[in-house]
Amino acid sequence: MLNFDFYNPTQILFGQGQIAAITPLVPAGARVLMLYGGGSIKRNGVYDEVKAALSGHTVIEFAGIEPNPHYETLMKAVEIVHAEKIDFLLAVGGGSVIDGTKFVAAAALFEGDPWQILEKGGRNITAALPFGSVLTLPATGSEMNSASVVTRAATQEKRPFANRLVFPKFSVLDPSKTFTLPLRQVGNGVVDAFVHVMEQYLTYPANAPVQDRWAEGLLLTLIEEGPKTLSEPDNLDVRANVMWSATMALNGVIGVGVPQDWATHMIGHELTALYHLDHAQTLAVVLPGILTVRKEAKRAKLLQYAARVWHIAEGDEDSRIAAAIERTRAFFEQMGVQTRLSGYGLDASAIDAVVAALEAHKLVKLGEHRDVSAEVSRAALELSL
């Protein structure tokens, strides 16, 4: 096991009816900016429950945070924070709203040009407004971590940042609030969580059996419960298990003391920035190719994955690995997420564009061994044409 430093102070309020429990967690007398996306929270009851829970507070609203939240949009929220003397933020929505709120929290107190936060990956954050979240879409894990991704629409740049000052103070996870999600978002969420686990698990052995088994536990649960969200959409336990899996997939605990990959995410970010694919769609396209082209470096863990997650016992090593990757691709498709560029109307010219973007952004040493060059990324994408 590698040395590590783990810290995660986010309080989780989990279960049906928990939105009402936030009242005492928002400081008395706080001026609250409530940030959300489109109008879905007004249709599924979340908006009304949040407003009721905050009825004793001054609440100003900021709507319109888009998927892959835009720097330009978020800076408008920062202006409102300053003009209205806001001292607490509440994100109500999915990962994009929470990611965006993290940026607003840091940018509002940042001295200098806030774009520098994204240029420096968040290392230059020295203060942030406190904030909570009410999660409506299990997927990104943003509700219980200190990372965020923001897109500058003007330049098609998608940039991650992280800092321990932008952990949510609390997050509400009410699985009953996910019943009204479109199936596309449900499927995307399961794939997103699955790939988050894979980025931390599918590297090379580090003698960390707890982390391995916990990662495998999440993968097995997503494989079991994910399809049930489609076949039994009103099953609260299923929704709860998917929601908890997605949060645990990226709250840090399965990634301590082990090598991590994240090449699939970095390549996927370029696909989203260029062609506006959903984040999970890009992961479903990239991961099978990455696992295949990096088969030698990942051989031991691929065999473990084949055996423990897919229960594949037949055949020689290479055929077990190939079968496990094929099962992975089939699972994503089962969740309604296409795994080939052609499924999104893209062809080989998109690969050229992604490779050029990776080179422009100096993302040419990716993966747990820093050996995923732009050409390795190209080879991975060519397997998912």
Residues that bind a second copy (CB under 8 A): 1-18, 21, 207-210, 213-214, 216-218, 220-221, 224-225, 237, 240-241, 244-245, 248, 253, 256-257
CB of 381 to a second copy, least distance (A): 32
Look at residues 179, 380, 178, 148 and name the one whose alpha carbon lies nearest to residue 284. 380
Give the nearer residue to a second copy in terms of CB position, either 10 or 304: 10
CB of 31 to a second copy, least distance (A): 25
Give the nearer residue to a second copy in terms of CB position, either 21 or 80: 21
Give the nearer residue to a second copy in terms of CB position, either 23 or 58: 23
Cα–Cα distance for residue pair 254/1, rounded to 1 Å = 12
Which residue type sits at 101?
Answer: T
Give the nearer residue to a second copy in terms of CB position, either 72 or 237: 237
Look at residues 142, 126, 49 and name the one whose alpha carbon lies nearest to residue 94. 142
Residue 283 near residue 228, CB atoms below 8 Å: no
CB of 108 to a second copy, least distance (A): 23
Tokens of 140: 């990104």
CB of 236 to a second copy, least distance (A): 9
CB of 33 to a second copy, least distance (A): 24
Give the nearer residue to a second copy in terms of CB position, either 216 or 278: 216
Give the nearer residue to a second copy in terms of CB position, either 219 or 284: 219
Give the nearer residue to a second copy in terms of CB position, either 13 or 91: 13
CB of 1 to a second copy, least distance (A): 5
Give the nearer residue to a second copy in terms of CB position, either 69 or 141: 141
Residue 91 near residue 168, CB atoms below 8 Å: yes
Write out the E strands in 64-156. 88-93, 131-135, 147-152
Tokens of 324: 């496990």
Collapsed DSSP state (helix, strand, coil) of residue 171:
strand
Containing H/E element for 1? none
Site of tokens 């202006």: 79
Tokens of 131: 């904030």
CB of 10 to a second copy, least distance (A): 8
Look at residues 189, 164, 168 and name the one whose alpha carbon lies nearest to residue 178. 189
CB contact burial 312-332 (16+ within 10 A = b; e otherwise): beeeeeeebbbebbebbbebb
DSSP state of 175: G
Residue 152 bridge partners (DSSP): 157
CB of 183 to a second copy, least distance (A): 22
> Pairing between strand 31-36 and 58-62?
parallel
